[in-house]
């Protein structure tokens, strides 16, 4: 955690950069999805500026290198990248919003849950998870909506839980897409509402988990942490005698809390949640994996993610060397992990940062294409990286459709 003097120095620098651009606190904070009071506390040194938020602020302020904000100890070029939109997003949006008559032969809740589970498995197994999901989401959303109209009692509650899981997949699919934010928020709202009405503890906790994912990207990190705490507490009565999936989901929530505190709040207490997740994974079978992001591999890769987010690039790279990437049961998560490794290397001004990005693309091209941090890093390496790698980085950017 930054010292009081370091916070004051960063705050003064931020205020100077903002005033140099002739922008008000309200204007800059609004572009970040933050409050004016939040920025005031940053500028007065009353609050630290986490690295991930600092990158976003740097883009808004037109800063070319993080050293302009943090000083020479934290130096990394800042590249502006556009968010792509998947070609299937519009059809998914229509399934969410269109009116259609009741189905005379509605899907059973059991079929709907099995189909949702298979769709999640395909998301993790595919190199092009968004394309795989785009093929099935419209049908699943329409089938789930029809099932809610047709069923009653227990069947309807089970259908709600299944459709909530479909909505969570829709949220994952629509995340980070440039022209899909309105549909994204529909999946967030409906996913949580359906989960709350399903009268199932794991569905309720999962709804809070995905709601927290949405909150933390809109500048409401503290509220996200509160929801994650609430989700974890709702599962505690089931941790001793309940099913493995209750324990697995609790572990996923701890990792989400850890990453939220590290990436968005710069809070080293993130490690406490990582330790809790690490203890929980030891209570599960060696090959256990929860489709919402929990396994031994997930716990291992979060050591890299937390260290990188908290600014300790050396520890992030060291932790990454111990990760068996093949043990991570998801191509999407493998690619995301390698992007974090690349970011840590880039923080060290290591020209080898391009290597894990290329490896990430081999695991999942779409995971890299739709990862804003990856797009920015690839574009930056193509424009301002060492001359020895610029050409290769530019070719990689072109293959992924990234303007560089």
Q: How many Cα atoms occupy the beta-carbon half-sphere of 44 within 13 Å?
A: 8
Looking at residues 187-206, what average pLDDT do you find?
Answer: 97
| Backbone torsion region of residue 203, taken as left when φ is above 0, otherwise alpha when ψ lies between -120 and 50, otherwise beta | alpha
Mean pLDDT of 245-274: 94
- Count of Cβ atoms closer than 10 Å to residue 9 Cβ: 16
Mean per-residue pLDDT, 269-289: 97
| pLDDT recorded at residue 404 | 61
Q: Which residue has the higher pLDDT, 82 or 302?
A: 302
Cβ(327)–Cβ(300) below 8 Å:
yes
Q: Between 143 and 264, where is the model more confident?
A: 143
With cut-offs at 50, 70 and 90, classify the pLDDT of residue 111: very high
pLDDT at 82: 73
Highest mean pLDDT: which range of 79-83, 180-184, 193-197, 396-400: 193-197
Q: What is the pLDDT of residues 157-175, one digit of tens each?
A: 999 999 999 999 999 999 9
Average model confidence (pLDDT) across the chain: 91
pLDDT of residue 402: 80
The domains of the chain are located at 4-70, 335-404
CATH of domain 4-70: 1.10.260.40
Which is more confidently placed, 81 or 5?
A: 5
Name all contacts of 380-386 with Cβ < 8 Å and 24+ positions apart: 380/77, 380/78, 380/79, 380/346, 381/346, 381/353, 381/354, 381/357, 383/79, 384/77, 384/79, 385/351, 385/353, 385/354, 386/351
Residue-wise pLDDT tens digits, 321-376: 999 999 999 999 999 999 999 988 987 878 899 999 999 999 999 999 999 889 98
Q: Per residue in 66-108, pLDDT tens?
A: 889 998 888 777 766 678 899 999 999 999 999 877 777 899 9
Q: Which residue has the higher pLDDT, 24 or 41?
A: 41
Q: What is the pLDDT of residue 192?
A: 97
Q: Average pLDDT of 130-144?
A: 97
- Confidence band for 201, pLDDT divided at 50, 70 and 90: very high
Q: If pLDDT is split at 50, 70 and 90, which confidence band does 33 have? A: low
pLDDT at 237: 97
Local structure of 84: helix, strand or coil: coil
Using the predicted structure, report yes or no on whether residue 31 has a pLDDT greater than 80.
Answer: no
Q: Is the pLDDT assigned to residue 36 strictly greater than 90?
A: no
The H-assigned helical ranges of 98-243 are 109-125, 129-150, 153-174, 181-197, 201-216, 221-235
What was the pLDDT predicted at 380?
A: 84
Range from 222-226, 364-368, 382-386 carrying the lowest mean pLDDT: 382-386
Q: How far apart are CA 310 and CA 2, in angstroms?
A: 10
3 state SS for 340-387? HHHHHHHHCCCHHHHHHHHHHHHHCHHHHHCCHHHHHHHHHHHHHCCH
What the block records as the tokens of 53 is: 């938020």
Residue 271 pLDDT level (bands cut at 50, 70, 90)? very high
State how far the Cα of 166 lies from the Cα of 304, in Å rounded to an integer. Answer: 30
pLDDT at residue 395 above 70? yes
Other CB atoms within 10 A of residue 297 CB? 21
């Amino acid at each position: 955690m930054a010292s009081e003097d370091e916070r004051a120095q960063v705050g003064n620098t931020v205020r100077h950069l903002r005033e140099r651009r002739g922008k008000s606190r309200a204007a800059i904070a609004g572009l970040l999805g933050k409050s004016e009071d939040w920025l005031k506390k940053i500028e007065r040194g009353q609050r630290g500026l986490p690295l991930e938020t600092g990158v976003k602020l740097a883009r808004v302020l037109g800063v070319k290198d993080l050293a302009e904000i943090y000083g020479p100890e934290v130096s990394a070029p800042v590249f502006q990248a556009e968010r792509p939109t998947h070609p299937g997003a519009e059809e998914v949006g229509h399934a969410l919003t269109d009116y259609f008559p009741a189905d005379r032969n509605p899907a059973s809740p059991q079929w709907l849950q099995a189909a949702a589970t298979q769709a999640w498995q395909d998301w993790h197994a595919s190199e092009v998870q968004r394309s795989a999901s785009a093929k099935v989401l419209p049908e699943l959303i329409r089938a789930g909506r029809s099932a809610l109209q047709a069923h009653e009692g227990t069947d309807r509650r089970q259908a709600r839980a299944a459709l909530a899981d479909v909505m969570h997949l829709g949220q994952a699919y629509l995340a980070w897409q440039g022209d899909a934010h309105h549909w994204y928020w529909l999946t967030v709202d409906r996913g949580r509402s359906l989960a709350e009405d399903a009268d199932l503890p794991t569905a309720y906790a999962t709804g809070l988990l995905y709601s927290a994912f949405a909150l933390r990207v809109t500048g409401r990190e503290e509220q996200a942490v509160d929801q994650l705490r609430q989700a974890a507490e709702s599962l505690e009565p089931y941790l001793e005698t309940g099913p493995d999936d209750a324990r697995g989901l609790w572990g996923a929530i701890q990792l989400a809390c850890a990453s939220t505190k590290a990436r968005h709040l710069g809070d080293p207490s993130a490690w406490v949640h990582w330790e809790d997740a690490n203890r929980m994974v030891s209570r599960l079978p060696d090959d256990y994996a929860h489709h919402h992001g929990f396994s031994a591999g997930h716990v291992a890769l979060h050591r890299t993610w937390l260290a990188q987010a908290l600014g300790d690039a050396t520890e992030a790279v060291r932790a990454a060397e111990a990760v068996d990437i093949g043990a991570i049961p998801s191509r999407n998560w493998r690619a995301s992990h390698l992007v974090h490794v690349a970011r840590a290397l880039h923080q060290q001004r290591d020209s080898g940062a391009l290597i894990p990005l290329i490896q990430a693309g081999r695991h999942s091209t779409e995971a890299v294409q739709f990862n804003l941090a990856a797009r920015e890093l690839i574009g930056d390496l193509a424009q301002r990286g060492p001359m020895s790698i610029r050409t290769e980085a530019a070719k990689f950017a072109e293959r992924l459709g990234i303007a560089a």
